[in-house]
Homo-oligomer: A and B are copies of this chain.
Amino acid sequence: MGHGGGGALSAELVEHLFAPAYGNDLLAGLADSTALTLAGTRLAFSTDSYVVRPLFFPGGSIGDLAVNGTVNDLAMSGARAAYLSCAFILEEGTDLSVVGRIAQAVGAAAVAAGVSIATGDTKVVDAGHGDGVFINTSGIGLIPHGVDIRPQRATPGDLVIVSGPIGMHGVAIMSVREGLEFGVEVTSDTAPLGGLVDAMLDVTPDLHTLRDPTRGGVATALNEIAAASGTGVLLHEHAVPVPEPVAGACGFLGLDPLYVANEGRLLAFVPRSHADAVLAAMRAHPLGAQAAVIGECVTEHPGMVVARTRFGGTRVVDLPLGEQLPRIC
């Protein structure tokens, strides 16, 4: 299961199995989406499959995730999603009313994100060889002129901004899956981030790196960026916004919120000179109201993420081997 968790095992699979087999370097850097040029037009292209369990959870469904996840992967290249594909793999016997509700959620999420579902496919597999509904979405969007957002561009001096409180999607899934109650219901943060990124790009096209910390959470995203860019990342742990119910649930379950999945948050690596203005623009947007600076890029410990703890100490924030919680998206 670890190979699908977005951690070190997933990265190994790409590096040692898929990338050599495909014989090109487009997968290098493990970006959320790939920037391409086609007939002189710069496009972002991205794909993700969604196998979340259960199909419906507080704050959304697999349909919302499938749209927002791919819209967000495109936004992490600075691209505004234009068109999505949407392919269903249904398990024989799945109630068509369930499929209908999910399709409605896909449609509503597409409208909210300003993207059109352009093409689709449906396959059915025998009972016992699927799990209700799996969805793949792929998306294409235009990258504006002058925008070059990549993990490799993070550089010492950049400030690291998170767009809002972390860990809500993962805890929402855990609460329904495990039948746990944490006093206050935590709802998934699933949301389309294209508008927030547009507001940030209005301040400056010179954002260095964007990433939505989904599988593997903030810790994994920071590690991937540190590895791709070779910069060190210093995380100010006390500055990371962790909602009280998320902190409580993680304490109860023995999890670290830094590793819990988010589906409507982003991390931005921004040149220090632009950081105040970018932060202000984020806070003026509904999806960035609680944005905060949580770290910086440093010349020390290149390629590594180190957290300064509440108590003034430091600790290495590792890439997880697999995933704390499988099938989170």
Contact = CB atoms under 8 A, between A and B. Distances in A.
Contacts of A85: 45-47, 138
Contacts of A178: none
Contact of A87 (B103, B131, B136): B136
Contacts of A122: 3-4, 10, 13-14, 18
Interface stretch (A110-118, A195-203, A283-291, A311-319): A110-118
A138 B4 CA distance: 20
Given A4-B90, A90-B3, A36 B120 contact: no
Interface string A123-159: 1111011110010101010100000000000000000
Contact of A51 (B13, B51, B89): B89
A38 interface: yes
A42 B317 CA distance: 46
Contact of A119 (B33, B49, B86, B99): B33
A27 B22 CA distance: 31
Interface string A77-120: 00000110111111010001001100110110011000011111
Contacts of A111: 23
A124 B326 contact: yes
A174 interface: no
Given A89-B89, A140-B140, A39 B41 contact: yes
Contacts of A90: 3-4
B103 A49 contact: no
A116 B45 CA distance: 12
A76 to B, nearest CB: 12
A100 B49 contact: no
Contacts of A119: 26-27, 33-34, 45-47, 138
A48 interface: yes
A327 B4 contact: no
Contacts of A253: none
A26 B83 CA distance: 10
A96 B17 contact: yes
Interface in A188-221: none
A1 interface: yes
8 tightest A-B CB contacts, nearest first: A4-B124, A47-B85, A138-B138, A21-B103, A136-B136, A129-B131, A21-B107, A22-B117
Interface of A: 1-5, 10, 13-14, 17-18, 21-24, 26-27, 33-34, 36, 38-41, 43, 45-51, 82-83, 85-90, 92, 96, 99-100, 103-104, 106-107, 110-111, 116-126, 128-131, 134, 136, 138, 140, 142, 326-327
